[in-house]
Amino acid sequence: MIRRVCVLAFLFLSTLTVLAETPRQRHFKFTYAFAVRNPDQGKPLKVWFPMATGDAWQKVRVVSSKGDLPLKQTQESEYGDRMFYAQTEEANRAEYHFEVVYDVVRTERVGLRDGEPVKGGPRPTQAKVNRFLAPDQLVPVTGRPKELAEQETMGVTVPLQKAHAIYEYVFRTMRYDKSGMGWGRGDTLWACDAKRGNCTDFHSLFASMARSQGIPVRFAIGFPLPATKHEGEIPGYHCWADFFVESAWVPVDISEAWKDQSKKDYFFGAHDENRIQFSVGRDLRLNPAQAGARLNYFVYPYVESDGKKYENVSNDFSFADATSEELQAKVK
């Protein structure tokens, strides 16, 4: 009898431990909508916009997709980002509207447990690892970022500890501040001087410094969901990063840590469930290839009119948490 009670108690405590470690999830609908306004009449019009796709932490289903031009799904080759593409040889409308509605289950991603990287998932090819060590146009890996990294990691030999020292430096020296001009481009050298910016600037500085020390860093971008709201408009994007050590990708989100400094330790090694990811990488060549320069990052629609970048685009992004009926259907 005593043994049976002990066994039951052990199982109960084990269950509590598993529950405590169970990643949080958020189930929601996300609407990605926009309008191309007053395009050049009679001129060729081309439209690209990113497509949310699934992975181990993001289960995605396209509920509906529609546009005033036929939509085609394509994929670029460097990072594997998927997208929608539409075109017409002669624009003949005052506006072109597009909308995709997604059903999404986003899972909290914990990449460190007891201070060790959580291994799992497919190992990236060496070519992919090398790409995430290389510079981007606005993300150099030599010069000042490298000097800062060497200074901050002096005497540190373990890559995970190096990444943590760089994370601490970015957290300590940057401030989340979108006033004035210059922020949001993810320009590492600008961030070094200004010591402020948004998520793009925080993670570009982190990427430059970490890559300069031989630590691959992957840039990802999508949209944030307010933790305290159940529905509403999404005014702008959010981005984050992962670094690769000990055969594992470790998530970081330094700008979110800065905004809620009680979570500084959490966001070195975790991404919460309040987000949706759309693409990975910088300096992107779309499919089919755009006439203009490579995209700095790809989260908003990109439009060309008569072979030139066209910017009169109105975005409308929103979300709504799943209803109790939808949650019940998911359980079944």
Three-state DSSP class for residue 185: coil
pLDDT tens profile 93-148:
999 999 999 999 999 999 999 999 998 777 888 998 999 999 999 999 999 999 99
Confidence of residue 17 (pLDDT cuts 50, 70, 90): very low
Three-state DSSP class for residue 122: coil
Predicted local confidence at residue 323, as pLDDT = 85
Q: pLDDT > 90: what percent of the chain?
A: 88
Predicted local confidence at residue 136, as pLDDT = 98
Q: Could you tell me whether strands 196-197 and 175-176 are parallel, antiparallel, or unpaired per DSSP bridges?
A: parallel
5-14, 50-59, 94-103, 291-300: lowest mean pLDDT where?
Answer: 5-14
Confidence of residue 7 (pLDDT cuts 50, 70, 90): very low
Lateral strand order in the sheet of 275-280: 248-252, 238-245, 217-224, 275-280
Q: How many Cα atoms are found within 13 Å in the side-chain-facing hemisphere of 167? A: 28
Q: Between 114 and 331, whose confidence is greater? A: 114
CB atoms within 10 A of CB 44: 16
